[in-house]
Structure 1
Amino acid sequence: MGWKHVTALAGGGTIALAALQGTASATPGSGVTARTIAQGTIDGTDYVLRELTIAPGGSTGWHYHGSRLRAVVTRGTLTHHASDCSVDGLYGEGDTIVEPAGPDAVHLGRNLGPTPVVLTALYLVPHGSPLAVDAPNPGCDFE
């Protein structure tokens, strides 16, 4: 096993990740592709750095995270919806996103623009936990 050092800008801070390699799996929504950049486990916590691309018209699907997620938009504009269907964030290139954890924080990310949205996301989850948990549509007239 080799050592990689990856530095990611997340939540306005710099987080150094060491000893990261491998792959992670997720259930992306419509028009979403994901690529694991780095992954590792330190002291019972999985550190996963991923690049997510959302095609024009695509969405993440309704979901929540078991722990706080931090991400940076590197391309495009992400429209972020809360479970009450409202837009709770509009994030453009260079903006950071911090998503709260838990089933009370169900949300959806959509690409309503003409170009792909690209995010670099950092997940810190208890070892073996999923990166995201699918959730039903909370009653919004969009997916």
Structure 2
Amino acid sequence: MSRTRIIRRAGATLAAAAAALSLLGAPARATPPDPGVTGTILWQKTVGDQDLTLREIHLPPHTDTGWHYHDGTLFAWVKEGTLSHFDSTCASDGVYPKNSPIVEAPGSGNVHIGRNLGDTELVLHVLYVLPTGSPFSRDAPNPGCPFE
């Protein structure tokens, strides 16, 4: 099944039961998300040893997610705005306008940051496929990029 199809299927199963969450914080020199960055759970289910969670993430203009990585794969779709995505070398590894699919690989070797460089709110639908009990993300220190 294609990534886009997975994202669309997940979006079609949106259930209610929203709960506002922020990304989990951790080490002392970590870079947590900017104030105003929020996430709401739209759907959640555990299948075998994996937690599947669909969240809607909002990034106000000129904010970012903070440097982080995930324990599992993420499949996302840009609902509104444009996501600017940077890897741990400080290089842009993608600019994703409205209706773009995104896949983020798991592991501490995939530290990244998502930024809203625009003047309008960025809204993402994100399907997290994580090992059971894992946090949505793990904060990481800025790898030395000048824009953070």
Using structure 1 for the length normalisation, give the TM-score: 0.85
Q: Which amino acid aligns with 1:114?
A: D
Structure 1 or 2: more strand by fraction = 1
Gaps of 5+ in 1: 1-9
Distance 2:82 2:108 in 1: 25
Distance 2:50 2:17 in 1: 14
Instruction: Verify: 1:52 aligned to 2:44, yes or no.
Output: no
Equivalence for 2:38: 33
Equivalence for 2:27: none
1:1-143 matched pairs, under 5 angstroms? 11-14=3-6, 15=9, 25-27=21-23, 29-30=33-34, 31-143=36-148
Structure 1 or 2: more helix by fraction = 2
Equivalence for 2:26: none
Does structure 1 retain, via aligned residues, the 8 Å contact 2:20–2:38? no
Does structure 2 retain, via aligned residues, the 8 Å contact 1:22–1:39? no
Using structure 2 for the length normalisation, give the TM-score: 0.82
My pick for the range that moved more, 104-113 or 36-45, is: 36-45
> 1:102 Cα shift?
0.4
Distance 1:110 1:140 in 2: 13
CA RMSD of aligned residues (A): 2.3
Deviation by residue 1:69-124 (Cα, 9 ceiling, x = unmatched) = 11000100111001000111000000000011100100000001010000000001
Percent of aligned positions with the same letter in both sequences?
A: 46
Count of residue correspondences: 134
SS in 1 for 2:64: coil
Gaps of 5+ in 2: 24-31
> 1:19 Cα shift?
9.3
Distance 1:45 1:92 in 2: 29
Deviation by residue 1:1-22 (Cα, 9 ceiling, x = unmatched) = xxxxxxxxx8212345699967
